Amino acid sequence: MSVRTLYEYAVVRVVPRVEREEFVNVGVALYCKKFRYAEFLFHLDEAKLRAMYSEVNIEEIQKHLESFQKICAGAKTHGKIATLEQAERFRWLTANRSTIIQCSPTHIGRCISAEETHQELMNKLVL
């Protein structure tokens, strides 16, 4: 019998016009200490974003999300934040912000496989 372990996750959202507080879920950041897993998966739905704000800069958002992904994974080429421990990186990335890229509150769960749970959350909350 497999033992379930704790994980934390946050849904990452794009808020094309911060003043309107409307958003599109674009990804899920997941951290699991036991499996030494800290990753960010994302998918940009350009049609949804353009429906909310036709002038949204998709290329800029893509670059920010790619940077978010590399920092979450600990890519040393992405500055001091990327060199922090996994938990510190995850918590820094998921902290409250009032910018175009925002995160939901952090949620917890229990999983057997961090990778499988991460993909399940992506399918349920983003895709």
Give residue 1's pLDDT. Answer: 64
Contact 108, 6 (CB under 8 A): yes
CA angle 25, 41, 113 (to 5 degrees): 115
Total domains present in the chain: 1
CA atoms of 3 and 7, how far apart (whole Å): 13
**Banded model confidence at residue 60, pLDDT cuts 50, 70, 90:** very high
* Mean per-residue pLDDT of the chain: 95
Whole-structure pTM value = 0.94
Provide the residue range defining the domain that includes 68. Answer: 5-125
Phi-psi region of 108 (alpha: psi -120 to 50; beta: other; left: phi over 0): beta
Q: For residue 7, how far is the Cα from the chain centroid? A: 14
